[in-house]
Amino acid sequence: MTYKMSGDDLYVYLYGEFDDSVAKTIRENIDMLIDSFVFSRLVIDMREVSFMDSTGIGVLLGRYKKLRSLGRKLSVKNVNFQVDKVFSMCGIYDIVSKL
């Protein structure tokens, strides 16, 4: 995971598999960034994510709730076909915008 600020947006770039084996670390790192930076929108770039399971979805939903309580937004970008299909079926795009 890497990150960068761009204007009012904080971009987080994920790599590899987003599953139970890395979910805790990703959650903790994103929470640290949320607590450390001033921004209006968190953009999760998933271009390099090869696989995502329900644990990864749970991490995103938890970050959405945290950001919403702070008056901030969450977006996802460059979602691959498999993850996009799951997000669509689960209704994730009803609360998280897709760029």
* Domain span holding position 38: 2-98
Measure the CA–CA gap between 91 and 97, rounded to whole angstroms: 11
For 15-58, write each residue's pLDDT tens digit.
999 999 999 999 999 999 999 999 999 999 999 998 999 999 99
Write the single-letter amino acid at 5.
M
- State the pLDDT at residue 86: 87
Give percent of the chain with pLDDT exceeding 90: 91
**CATH number of the domain that residue 72 is part of:** 3.30.750.24
Q: pLDDT at residue 82 above 90?
A: no
Question: Dihedral sign, CA of 78, 79, 81, 87?
Answer: negative
Domain count, the chain: 1
